[in-house]
Amino acid sequence: MRRKDERMKFTKMHGLGNDYVYLDCFAEPPGVADLPALARQISDRHRGVGGDGLILMRPSQGADLRMEMYNADGGRAQMCGNGIRCVARYAWERGLTKANPMVIETDAGLRVAEVKPPDSGACSVTVVMGTPKFHPAALPARFAGERIDKAEFEVRGRLLRVSCVSLGNPHAVVFVKDFAEIDVERDGPALENHPIFPDRINVHFARVDGPGAITMKSWERGSGVTQACGTGACAAGILAETHMPVRVHLPGGRLLVDWVQPAGASEPPHTELLKLAGRVGALEKDVVLMTGPAEFVFEGEWNPS
């Protein structure tokens, strides 16, 4: 165990401004028993390092590495699209694995990621995000029916048309014609905590801009307003009823989302990625692919209180 006065090394990374504090548990275990408390302390933007949460990279018995994450409020999260891209880049560049594409174990199951080596500081990571689950039980949600599709929910005294899907973690998407129609900081938490969602839900407001293009703003469960949400972008992209792939424009930048039905896992340009996903059981009849950047910010040391 780490001495009380012994400092813990960390790395700050972000995907489109969705920033997390990362701990390399291959190098040293965190030595902290209360990880939710650590997540709250280190994520504090005034008294801590600052971030949307805490992500630990651990050894895995069945994958190249394991990703364990906590939101800024200390709540455990199953998956994070922007976070897993950063995990993949860190693992590849820092030698945690020699595999590329690689298999990453998460609380939502196995995910497969491929890093395109940096070019002048830029880095692109593609992740097989799994098969979308539309049944309310996958969220979970107290809702009769096979899926929540443009269902009317009362939120702050008015009706919002809500569609839901799980990509390892749950998402509610409201499509709008004009963002002036909504207040993300008030409508977001109201829908997140709607009684129909017993475990709360991530909330996104999206606008279809044209064929294959949408704009989205997010309120994330346990973190609030964020610059980007990778799994949320995937959710909005597949619910938008537009051409694939979809360019999802977020406050922090752009992600590319594709929803494919792999025919023998051989479609370029992601042939090896999909073949690996098939070998490890992470490939079903249809899967969502997400591509976007992953960036290092800085490194430091933290003295847990």
Q: How far apart are CA 210 and CA 248, in angstroms?
A: 11
Give the model's confidence band at 6: pLDDT under 50 very low, under 70 low, under 90 confident, else very high.
confident
271 belongs to a structural domain: no
Taking residues 145-170, what's their average pLDDT? 96
Do 255 and 140 lie in one domain? The reply is yes
Do 123 and 219 lie in one domain? The reply is no
Q: How far apart are CA 189 and CA 67, in angstroms?
A: 26
Tally of structural domains, the chain = 2
Residues designated catalytic: 80, 229
Do 142 and 108 lie in one domain? The reply is no
Q: Quick check: 1 pLDDT over 70? A: no
Q: What is the mean pLDDT of the chain?
A: 92
Do 27 and 89 lie in one domain? The reply is yes
Q: Quick check: 229 pLDDT over 80? A: yes
275 belongs to a structural domain: no
Do residues 303 and 48 make contact, with C-beta atoms less than 8 angstroms apart?
no
Do 87 and 152 lie in one domain? The reply is no
Share of the chain above pLDDT 70, in %: 94
pLDDT value, residue 267: 55
265 belongs to a structural domain: no
Do 59 and 154 lie in one domain? The reply is no
Do 86 and 173 lie in one domain? The reply is no
Q: Which residue has the higher pLDDT, 225 or 303?
A: 225
Q: Quick check: 12 pLDDT over 80? A: yes
1 belongs to a structural domain: no
pLDDT value, residue 119: 64
Do 44 and 119 lie in one domain? The reply is yes
Q: Quick check: 118 pLDDT over 90? A: no
Q: Exposed (0-12), middle (13-18) or buried (19+): which is 217, by Cβ within 10 Å?
A: buried
> Which residue range forms the structural domain that includes residue 71?
8-129+289-302
pLDDT value, residue 281: 85
SS3 string, the chain, reads CCCCCCCEEEEEEEECCEEEEEEECCCCCCCCCCHHHHHHHHHCCCCCCCCCEEEEEECCCCCCEEEEEEECCCCEECCCHHHHHHHHHHHHHCCCCCCCCEEEEECCEEEEEEEEEEECCEEEEEEECCCCECCHHHCCCCCCCCCCCCEEEEECCEEEEEEEEECCCEEEEEECCCHHHCCHHHHHHHHHCCCCCCCCCEEEEEEEEECCEEEEEEEECCCEEECCCHHHHHHHHHHCCCCCCEEEEECCEEEEEEEECCCCCCCCCCHHHHHHHHHCCCCCCCEEEEEEECEEEEEEEECCC
3 belongs to a structural domain: no
61 belongs to a structural domain: yes
Do 176 and 205 lie in one domain? The reply is yes
Do 141 and 234 lie in one domain? The reply is yes
278 belongs to a structural domain: no
Do 157 and 105 lie in one domain? The reply is no
236 belongs to a structural domain: yes
Q: Is the entire prediction scored with pTM above 0.75? A: yes
Least confident of 16-25, 58-67, 255-264: 255-264
Please provide the distance, in angstroms rounded to a whole number, between the alpha carbons at the two ends of the chain: 14
176-to-139, 205, 208 alpha-carbon distances in Å: 22, 7, 8
Domain with residue 96: its CATH number is: 3.10.310.10
Do 125 and 154 lie in one domain? The reply is no
